[in-house]
Structure 1
Amino acid sequence: MSLLGQPAPDFTLPSSVGDPVTLSSYRGQKHVVLVFYPLDFSPVCSMQLPEYSGRQDDFADAGAVILGVNRDSVHAHRAWAAEYGIEVPLLADMTLTVARLYGVAIDERGISARAVFLIDKEGVVRFEHVEKATGDYTVRPEVVLNQIKAL
């Protein structure tokens, strides 16, 4: 199920950085990069999210925000962010409801796939990539930044 060219499913989730985050609150203001990842403290995720976080100034310059999403709790997110220097909001999708809306829930494992969605300022999905295996990490920040610049 591709969401490309479709309105992004809206949601509100608890965040590691304070108040809950509602996707539609960015509409008309910022592009949103949704980074779904399987688990806090796992090896590949502990490369991916710090790498995206480290490029957040480049994303901000391109008019975008980065939001990490997985099934871990806000408490786990905060501990992981503190340990790995992750500054982007990490959203707690503990029931995988949002992962299901985006077609990336792996229900039998209780996690989401590793996936990246670029949602433009109008709230439309303009880029999506779901990794074939949860251990794969092929869509680096540069790829997404180039997609934003092409909008």
Structure 2
Amino acid sequence: MSLVGQPAPDFTLPASTGEQITLSSYRDQKHVVLVFYPLDFSPVCSMQLPEYSGRQDDFADAGAVVLGVNRDSVHAHKAWAAEYGIEVPLLADMKLDVAREYGVAIDDRGISGRAVFLIDRSGVVRYQHVEEKTGDYTVRPEAVLAKIREL
């Protein structure tokens, strides 16, 4: 299911930063990179999210914000972020409702797949990549930054 060219499904979720984050609050201000990932503290995720977090300044320079999304609790997100130095907000989609709206929920495993969505300032999905397997991590921050620069 491709959402490219469609309005991004809006949501409000609690974040590791202690606030509620609403996707549409970024409209007309910033591009949003949604990074869905299966689990905090898992090996591939523990490489992926710190890598995106480490490029936060580059994303900010490109007019974008990065948001991590998965089904773990805010408490797990906070612990994982502290241990791995992750500074991007991690959103708790504990019932996988948002993952379902984006077509990346793996209900039989109770997790979301690994996927990246780029949403432009007008709230439209401009790029999406869903990994075939949750252990794959092929879309690196540089690739997403290149897509943002094309907007």
1:130 partner amino acid: V
Measure, in 2, the Cα distance between the counterparts of 1:15 and 1:80.
13
Q: Secondary structure at the match of 1:28?
A: coil
Q: Secondary structure at the match of 1:91?
A: strand
Q: Secondary structure at the match of 1:35?
A: strand
Identity of aligned residues (%): 83
Residue correspondence of structure 1 range 88-107 to structure 2 within 5 A? 88-107=88-107
**What's the RMSD between the two structures over aligned residues?**
0.2
2:150 aligned with 1:150: yes
Give deviations 1:114-139, integer Å, cap 9, x for gaps.
00000000000000000000000000
Measure, in 1, the Cα distance between the counterparts of 2:9 and 2:2.
12
Q: Secondary structure at the match of 2:108?
A: helix
Q: Secondary structure at the match of 2:19?
A: strand
Measure, in 1, the Cα distance between the counterparts of 2:16 and 2:85.
13
1:61 partner amino acid: D
Measure, in 2, the Cα distance between the counterparts of 1:144 and 1:19.
26
TM-score by length of 1: 1.00
Aligned residues, how many? 151
Measure, in 1, the Cα distance between the counterparts of 2:113 and 2:77.
17
Measure, in 2, the Cα distance between the counterparts of 1:20 and 1:109.
26
TM-score by length of 2: 1.00
Tell me by how many angstroms 1:4 deviates.
Answer: 0.4
Measure, in 2, the Cα distance between the counterparts of 1:88 and 1:20.
14
Tell me by how many angstroms 1:19 deviates.
Answer: 1.0
Runs of 4+ with >2 A deviation: none
- 1:116 maps to what in 2? 116
- Can you give the 5+ residue segments of structure 1 that lack an aligned partner in the other structure? none
- 1:32 maps to what in 2? 32
- 2:55 maps to what in 1? 55
Q: Secondary structure at the match of 1:144?
A: helix
- 1:46 maps to what in 2? 46
- 1:21 maps to what in 2? 21
2:147 aligned with 1:138: no
Measure, in 1, the Cα distance between the counterparts of 2:56 and 2:138.
18
- Can you give the 5+ residue segments of structure 2 that lack an aligned partner in the other structure? none
Tell me by how many angstroms 1:18 deviates.
Answer: 1.6
Give deviations 1:87-145, integer Å, cap 9, x for gaps.
00000000000000000000000000000000000000000000000000000000000
